[in-house]
Amino acid sequence: MNLGEQLQKLREEKKMSREDLAGEMNVSRQAVYKWENNKGYPDIENLIKLSELYNVTLDELIKGDQKFQKKIAIDEEEEEPATPGFVIGIIIVFIGIFFDLGKFSFCISILGFAIMLFYNELKQTFWNIKKDFKEER
């Protein structure tokens, strides 16, 4: 049984309409409809509320829905550690702050912050320029 079918079955057992559930959960009726028809999934906060409302564990709610379990696993994989740009940027900021480089300290610190914020964009731009340069030869 997938998550949508499970949610619909539990709601009907409680003799609640979609509108009643939506009001209880502070979401729209359309959101409840999407959950029950597998057109969308509730976020973790709403899953917790649903498990409390229906008096079931989260495990019981999602265990039968393989697609939802895979989505949760993918979301967990997307959490990535500090990027190289962040580390490089922090190092440059510290160099700018802690070394007395006169007027350049401020500029170096700003450069560090820019690298932290825009590392991926800078890297992509650099590789595009490098690729274009090779193609022109």
Secondary structure in 3-state letters for 88-131: HHHHHHHHHHHCCCCCHHHHHHHHHHHHHHHHHHHHHHHHHHHH
Q: What's the pLDDT tens digit per position in 19-56?
A: 999 999 999 999 999 999 989 888 889 999 999 999 98
Q: What's the pLDDT tens digit per position in 90-114?
A: 898 988 888 877 888 888 889 899 9
Residue 81 phi, psi (nearest 5): -70, 180
Cα-to-chain-centroid distance, residue 86: 19
Residue 9 per-residue DSSP state: H
CATH entry, 3-77, from 3.90.550.10, 1.20.1740.10, 1.10.260.40, 3.50.30.30: 1.10.260.40
pTM: 0.48
Task: Output the pLDDT for position 82.
Answer: 63
Token pair 């906060």 is at which residue? 45
Mean pLDDT of 69-81: 57
- Does the pLDDT of residue 135 top 80, yes or no? no
Task: Output the pLDDT for position 1.
Answer: 67
> Which residues belong to CATH 1.10.260.40 in the chain?
3-77
Residues 53, 70: Cα–Cα separation, whole Å:
25
Average pLDDT of the chain, as a whole number: 83
Task: Output the pLDDT for position 72.
Answer: 59
Residue 101 per-residue DSSP state: -
